[in-house]
Structure 1
């Protein structure tokens, strides 16, 4: 009985520690003002957009057109990963009319081995082309966007300013969710709630990223990911894949960049890349389970992280992020042990009622202040604010579903997941996926 009580106390203390770290990060991120952007825009930088695509006929045409209209001097490379629909044909048609657009096609058996491998394969080829042209790779910037990504006009000017510092090897753009335009009905309400929460989540991530920028631990998250070509060429020359072979290849690519050289830094860009949300509970939970499993796969980075000379706060922040799926598993285990506590008549850590009330008030207060700030930025109506509040339990339930799924796939060694499905948006051209 004493052994069980000790185990339960350990679970409760671990959960309380994780909750305390979460509160600390959220409070500091909420209180600190956004840092002022320094530097003069470097107009000599050249941008190449890389778009990994697998069965993206629903959205790829409009994405390419958006980039050509918004960043007319940029090159666009679509990496077709053996699509079975009209993705390649649509891009070939665009490329035939526009020399700034090109298509790289992967074939089996190398195809469909993950986004990271597709990017490594494509980058090695594009860099070789740039070197043949005599390009200065220090001024060549690659930008990874998803097949449904749309960039805002302010993004590249902000990137020119951030990347004018030669030590900034990469940057991550803010992500916004484009809401569905379908009518709100009983059948679509859950999906619309999830979309609303995804945009709110990225709003909070924006503040956390601004905090991380202060101690140089900005995370890279795929859509809107900037990388300097000279860094990528150096990694490839050393036989190191810029995008590691894991399900969170984007976050791991940022770790590799930060660990490759002490001076390497990353910036966060407040101008946005917009993307579709996932308006489906099952698909959303599977996506988050994939993200969680990918973060768990980054645990081997921890020894390298603590041997590196990067600032202490950066190491602590990145460590917190990497271990969070494991600690969340501890919290869930603690909750699931409640029936055992009741049956065995034993408890772990028993908190004073006042302490429990304080924790509850802090948690609710943090959620309400984020929603209030989100409302101010987006000028939400009172009805939309109430809708956002009502969406919180749906979002929490979806995240709860994703954790055991991630653990199951991690411990059974499964490394493949279904890709996120896109949908055609009103006014977009393209061929429906088969």
Structure 2
């Protein structure tokens, strides 16, 4: 039994060391300099939409104001709530707005499938701006997104490098939708704040990953060179694989397609709505973890494809995240139980306990401090963010066993995240 305990604790020590090392490197990561030259890029925004009537009108207005010359394409994925009618009305007033409609039973099969179909339609029907494909960039944009003013200029400078095939904008979470009263309202506000804090940490991780050109692509603010997309479709290969985490998988495909391909991070970004309901939040994170599990079979390709060792290790680490989280969940159960047993027998090594515990406490507080400073949070809000971190972590961990259950059962269906109207 002693050997089993020692093995478990050795695993925990390795995981803690990996977490602290990676987090410290991310904490110290700095943005790269944006290239001074701006490429002659034409942007086309593609908005997959399934019952987005509450937000689609405001999103189109935001995009047109921020990107006056861009083509705005909405893919209505078999919706029945008036989204298509709103887009058609916008298209009558603005010839740069285009509606593409999928119908059942082909519709509602996933965001990736909608994107693959939509881009194929744009290419086949010659609906894109009249410019060489190398000078065109497609932007995947969520129906609740809002564009930062400087994002397109930064993207045009980044895509001046012909080896850059894709880029991911920074994501922020708008603090809207948490207006309920009582403990539910407090929990909703905590979830909103923690999601924005999480994306702040993700920003630093992306800055670190950019050193190996392995930036992860997300479902909102994803930029992809159109020549790459056309090439994939011409080969009969979908740019967005049929998994629940199609955005992550699409970036993986970009990096594996050629050793020269680069994925970069854009410091300017987009804002989006957050979730204030615990059940919806857990369901969303379970879908993300489930999709990551579906991507795991790509691991051999990572080690066969020519690329620097750092890139291979980085991609391997992210493919292993669901399994590492499952181990972490088990350790979160083991350590408190083991601590109680040692307290009862008087076997506690306080020096070792402090050495293992303090770094795990100090690092999250450092993230809260930096986030609070950037967002100019008051002391009360910063304390709320710090106190909410353990609660948020436990809620996220609830999604891990749910994801593994759905994956092992072969339940690969998905439930769309609901939006709310904003003033």
- Do they fold alike, i.e. is TM over 0.5? yes
One of 14, 24, 27 as aligned partner of 1:27: 24
Residues 150, 275 of structure 1: 8 Å contact kept: yes
Residues 194, 394 of structure 1: 8 Å contact kept: no
One of 43, 48, 55 as aligned partner of 2:51: 55
For the pair 1:277 / 2:274, whether they are aligned, the reply is yes
For the pair 1:370 / 2:367, whether they are aligned, the reply is yes
Distance 1:302 1:82, change over 3 A: same
Aligned match of 1:423: 420
SS of the residue corresponding to residue 34 of structure 1 reads coil
SS of the residue corresponding to residue 37 of structure 1 reads coil
SS of the residue corresponding to residue 94 of structure 1 reads helix
Residues 144, 223 of structure 1: 8 Å contact kept: yes
Aligned match of 1:90: 86
Within 2, Cα distance between the matches of 1:137 and 1:323?
35
For the pair 1:172 / 2:168, whether they are aligned, the reply is yes
Residues 82, 105 of structure 1: 8 Å contact kept: yes
One of 10, 13, 37 as aligned partner of 1:13: 10
Within 2, Cα distance between the matches of 1:409 and 1:132?
39
Aligned match of 2:265: 268
The alpha carbon displacement at 1:207 in A equals 0.7
Residues 14, 331 of structure 1: 8 Å contact kept: no
Residues 191, 275 of structure 2: 8 Å contact kept: yes
> For structure 2, which runs of at least 5 residues remain unmatched after alignment?
none
Aligned match of 2:383: 386
The alpha carbon displacement at 1:160 in A equals 0.4
Aligned match of 2:288: 291
Within 1, Cα distance between the matches of 2:385 and 2:128?
52
The alpha carbon displacement at 1:19 in A equals 2.2
Within 1, Cα distance between the matches of 2:295 and 2:129?
37
For the pair 1:215 / 2:212, whether they are aligned, the reply is yes
The alpha carbon displacement at 1:250 in A equals 0.2
Aligned match of 1:330: 327
Structure 1 stretch displaced more, 409-418 or 122-131: 122-131
One of 154, 157, 174 as aligned partner of 2:153: 157
Within 2, Cα distance between the matches of 1:181 and 1:339?
36
One of 117, 124, 135 as aligned partner of 1:121: 117
* TM-score in terms of structure 2 length: 0.94
Aligned match of 2:305: 308
For the pair 1:191 / 2:172, whether they are aligned, the reply is no
For the pair 1:142 / 2:138, whether they are aligned, the reply is yes
The alpha carbon displacement at 1:393 in A equals 2.4
Within 1, Cα distance between the matches of 2:154 and 2:94?
26
Within 2, Cα distance between the matches of 1:325 and 1:382?
34
SS of the residue corresponding to residue 296 of structure 2 reads coil
Within 1, Cα distance between the matches of 2:88 and 2:307?
45
Within 2, Cα distance between the matches of 1:74 and 1:132?
10
Distance 1:335 1:200, change over 3 A: closer
The alpha carbon displacement at 1:18 in A equals 2.3
The alpha carbon displacement at 1:396 in A equals 1.3
The alpha carbon displacement at 1:342 in A equals 9.9
What number of residue pairs does the alignment pair up?
Answer: 418
Distance 1:26 1:338, change over 3 A: closer
Residues 107, 114 of structure 2: 8 Å contact kept: yes
